[in-house]
């Protein structure tokens, strides 16, 4: 297998069907090249816009959490930082805080030449353990990380490691997607089926691609958020009474019923998911799915996100909890 270099850093990447993949694990199904990091920056803007902030709760609560206490400097840990844009913006917003971004590959946004002085990046795999960072942070943030972990054991271990990095009283924030897209009435659009007699009128090609990439067998049942919350509730280090969640919906190719912010959000989401369909292609080809089949799925999913054949949205779930 050939090697390419991430244009945003000096990290050697594995080439897979024309895209640069991270060199540390085959379990992460998306590329780690410049094209993907540009998409992740767009995705970041979408999430901040739909949540009206960098976390799923208010800035007032976040400001209180990140106050200096007893002369101790607050600290933020961004696990699975992607390009690092969330880490950088948090470092700029909270200059009194120490901010650490952690990911499988070494990267940063191409628009940023120098990290803020209070921001540091590290590389590694959360599943190898994070003992070096234990008991150091007031806020630990994971966005679109757990959903990419393959198997329940890996998901549970990632959450265990994240909780371990919190100081007592610190808050873990997990922002992730539910498994299926929904229609404009927020009804689940289960993955499309292949057999000729299948009724796909209320099913989704985008849901199908997500299911195929992550090898899900649940026909689009929403289980991810519930599973994350159950893992936190079973962790004796977590204050069970503090576990909360909030749902957000990203309209794709339409305004989501919001005439003010909705049109821009819908346009950004269309570009993001058009790129995401193609970012998933190497993982689908690696599974042995024929290229013409993958291209057919992508063309149908592209039509779906355009907002012309139907109106769809992606539910995302913000979950947060406090460490005892």
The 10s digit of each residue's pLDDT in 162-179 is: 999 999 999 999 999 876
pLDDT > 70? residue 7: no
Residue 117: CATH number of its domain:
3.40.50.150
171 pairs with which residues across the strands?
139, 322
Q: In the predicted model, what is the mean pLDDT of residues 130-159? A: 93
User: Measuring CA to CA, which residue among 166, 136, 134 is closest to residue 324?
Assistant: 166
pLDDT of residue 98: 98
Answer whether 0.95 is exceeded by the pTM: no
pLDDT > 60? residue 9: no
Q: Tokens for 9?
A: 């850093």
Q: Tokens for 6?
A: 């991430």
SS3 33: coil
Q: Give tens-digit pLDDT for 212-242.
A: 887 777 676 667 788 899 999 999 999 999 9
The overall average pLDDT reported for the chain is 90
pLDDT of residue 153: 92
Higher pLDDT, 109 or 19: 19
Q: Within a domain: residue 12?
A: no
Sheet holding 19-21, edge to edge: 3-5, 12-16, 19-21
Q: In the predicted model, what is the mean pLDDT of residues 252-264? A: 95
pLDDT > 70? residue 10: no
pLDDT > 70? residue 2: no
d(CA 118, CA 94): 9
pLDDT of residue 107: 74
d(CA 235, CA 229): 10
Count of domains observed in the chain:
1
Q: Within a domain: residue 160?
A: yes
Q: Tell the burial category of 91 from Cβ atoms under 10 Å away from its Cβ (0-12, 13-18, 19+).
A: buried
Output the furthest CA–CA distance in the chain (Å, rounded). Answer: 67
Q: Within a domain: residue 311?
A: yes
d(CA 114, CA 119): 10
Q: Within a domain: residue 5?
A: no
Runs of H (alpha helix) within the chain:
34-51, 59-65, 85-93, 152-164, 205-214, 224-234, 262-279, 281-286, 291-305
Q: Give tens-digit pLDDT for 30-78.
A: 888 889 889 999 999 999 999 999 999 999 999 999 999 888 999 999 9
103 pairs with which residues across the strands?
123
SS3 84: coil
- Domain residue limits at 244: 17-323
Q: Within a domain: residue 11?
A: no
Q: Within a domain: residue 261?
A: yes
Q: Within a domain: residue 109?
A: yes
Higher pLDDT, 194 or 78: 78
Q: Within a domain: residue 1?
A: no
């Amino acid at each position: 297998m050939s090697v390419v270099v991430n244009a945003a850093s000096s990290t050697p990447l594995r080439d897979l069907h024309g895209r640069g993949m991270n060199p540390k694990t085959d379990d992460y199904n998306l590329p780690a090249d410049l094209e993907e990091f540009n998409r992740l920056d767009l995705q970041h803007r979408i999430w901040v816009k739909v949540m009206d902030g960098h976390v799923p709760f208010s800035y007032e609560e976040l400001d209180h959490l990140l106050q200096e206490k007893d002369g101790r400097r607050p600290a933020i840990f961004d696990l699975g930082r992607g390009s690092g844009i969330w880490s950088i913006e948090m470092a700029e917003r909270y200059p009194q805080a120490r901010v650490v971004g952690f990911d499988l590959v070494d990267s940063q946004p191409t628009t940023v030449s120098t990290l803020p002085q209070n921001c540091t990046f590290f590389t590694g795999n959360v599943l190898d353990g994070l003992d070096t960072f234990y008991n150091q942070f007031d806020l630990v943030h994971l966005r679109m990380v757990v959903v990419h972990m393959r198997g329940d054991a890996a998901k549970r271990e990632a959450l265990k490691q994240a909780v371990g990095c919190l100081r007592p009283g610190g808050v873990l924030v997990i922002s992730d997607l539910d498994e299926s897209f929904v229609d404009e009435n927020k009804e689940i659009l289960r993955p499309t089926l292949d057999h000729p007699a299948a009724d796909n009128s209320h099913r989704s090609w985008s849901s199908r691609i997500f299911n195929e990439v992550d090898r899900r067998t649940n026909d689009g049942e929403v289980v991810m958020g519930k599973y994350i919350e159950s893992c936190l509730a079973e962790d004796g280090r977590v204050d069970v009474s503090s576990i909360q969640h909030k749902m957000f919906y990203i309209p794709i190719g339409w305004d989501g019923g919001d005439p003010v912010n909705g049109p821009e959000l819908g346009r950004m989401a269309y570009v993001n998911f058009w790129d995401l369909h193609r970012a998933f292609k190497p993982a689908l080809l690696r599974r042995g799915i024929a290229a013409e089949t993958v291209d057919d799925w992508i063309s149908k999913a592209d039509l779906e996100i355009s907002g012309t054949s139907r109106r769809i949205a992606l539910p995302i779930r913000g979950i947060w909890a406090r460490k005892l």
